[in-house]
Chain A
Amino acid sequence: MAKVRLPTEDSLNVRAALIGVAAGYIAIFLLTPLIAVFAEALRNGVDGFIQAVSEKDALSAIELTLTVAAIAVPLNCVFGLAAAWAVAKHDFAGKALFVTLIDLPFSVSPVISGLIYVLLFGAQGYLGPALDILGIKVIYTVTGLVLATVFVTFPFVARELIPLMEEQGVSEEEAAISLGADGWQTFWHVTLPNVRWGLLYGVLLCNARAMGEFGAVSVVSGHIRGLTNTMPLHVEILYNEYNFAAAFAVASLLAFLALVTLVLKSVLEWRFAADIAASHRH
């Protein structure tokens, strides 16, 4: 008897072609560059790699990138939670505009976001001279790097949480309040635990972008080695100096951090699958 196909099952040829195209696409556009980064990084051997990433300016770039992420990510975690909570659990005038604004950093080119900061806080900017009197410098400082990174990575947490919170509705919050909980208890015991997985994803993505951001940071940084050079900027400098092996060595560290983020996300998804499903269903 001939094997009967399910109505949604395609013939073997079609399946082979589709899988082939998908696999080829992933191989060319995702896998090859990734392998190339690591291959180039090790071109001068493990010693060359270690030397490149432990050089003084590289170490200070790594430290700066981690510092910027360590400030920007918690800030956006709090801002994103607050924004998502406001949008998903409340009704107010101008909500649609607010939601659009949250997405602004995604739709504006990062270079432009950086330029806006220069325009605002630069020596000739609107707020620059006033802040200068107060002794606050933004452009060409770590402060500027943090501000630009916060701007660019703002939507990640909020975007992750808004659909989830909207799906969950407000009935659990109402239940908590009618049982005598105050606003803080309701948020802490009901709202926040219900979105903890979404929040974690948002934070992981936000972190990956915060460490990898180039455009906006490049504009406000001034590329002062050892002071305002983050890892992506350091990669560019090394590359422009034809120091390819060192450039790829630092780049491979960034790629490695991104891979760790993805693996962490997958492990958490796998480990807590039932728990995550429960936060969607009821």
Chain B
Amino acid sequence: MSLRIEHVTKKFGTLAAVDDVSLAIDKGEFMALLGPSGSGKTTLLRIIAGLELMESGALHFDGTDLSAVPARERRVGFVFQNYALFRHMTVARNISFGVDVLPRKRKPKRAEIKTKVEALLARMQLEGLGQRYPNQLSGGQRQRVALARALAIEPRILLLDEPFGALDAKVRKELRAWLRALHDDTRLTTVMVTHDQDEALAIADRVAILNEGRIEQVGTPGELKERPASAFVREFLGVA
């Protein structure tokens, strides 16, 4: 599913968190939003998900206007920075939540849901953990539960907010490669927010660099490194 962001602006008080941002993300693309804290990248991601309202601008999914569609109807898979797993539900119930809340006539049969959860657990390498609770899992495992829960609703687009932020360096690297492999497999349009330039450049097809609510430059990792468009980009990426 392709996503077009057009002249999106969001203010908090007088401060423009996102300032007239336009960005086109192609079907099947892995796009990273990279920038320092306060650059507006997370706000932009939350606007795409409908968790934050924009003041002006438009969002298009495959050409259909999304601006007036409420968050719960956008079918967006959102993975939160701290995972936001439902703490009182088992892993299996976390994953099936998006299916469980469907209206009765669209809800699959119990057995079907169970099969789906098992398949997602297997895909996320979480076999046998379905009956555990989130606080009985490691950080990396919670991460994958959050991903499985987002994928269970068969989202049109996957949004990841600092998905590796709370993990230690080693697990981070492993999950990075694993996430990229998962993307190559599913070709699900993905937008990831990160402040880690190595991570963005290693995993994404294209990277949008944000600074103070505006996009400084968009390009493939190679382009950005070879032809940084501004002093900010050059400095942020650490290219000489």
Contacts and interface: CB of A to CB of B under 8 A. Distances in A.
Interface size class of A (residues with CB under 8 A): 20 to 34
A24 to B, nearest CB: 41
A278 B80 contact: no
A123 to B, nearest CB: 51
Nearest to A278: B135
Interface stretch (B95-103, B186-194, B220-228, B232-240): B95-103
Nearest to A182: B72
A282 interface: yes
In this complex, the member of A177, A178, A185, A278 whose beta carbon has the largest number of chain B beta carbons within 10 angstroms is: A178
Interface stretch (A92-100, A114-122, A154-162, A188-196): A188-196
A177 B71 contact: yes
Nearest to A181: B101
Interface in A144-179: 171-172, 174-179
A185 B101 contact: yes
A174 to B, nearest CB: 5
B153 A180 contact: yes
Contact of A179 (B82, B88, B97, B134): B97
A281 interface: yes
Contact of A180 (B49, B89, B102): B102
A143 interface: no
Secondary structure at the A interface, as helix, strand, loop or mixed, is helix
A44 interface: no
Contacts of B49: 178
Contact of A177 (B51, B75, B87, B89): B51
B84 A181 contact: no
A181 B107 CA distance: 13
B88 A279 contact: yes
A62 B174 CA distance: 66
B178 interface: no
B8 to A, nearest CB: 18
A179 B98 contact: yes
B71 to A, nearest CB: 5
B78 A178 contact: yes
Nearest to A190: B86
18 contacts: A174-B78, A174-B84, A177-B51, A177-B71, A177-B72, A178-B76, A179-B98, A180-B75, A180-B98, A180-B102, A182-B101, A194-B87, A196-B88, A275-B88, A278-B88, A278-B133, A279-B87, A282-B135
Given A171-B84, A175-B80, A277-B135, 10 more contacts: A172-B85, A174-B78, A178-B77, A179-B150, A179-B153, A181-B97, A185-B101, A193-B89, A278-B88, A282-B135
Interface of B: 49-51, 71-78, 80, 82, 84-89, 97-98, 101-102, 133-135, 149-150, 153
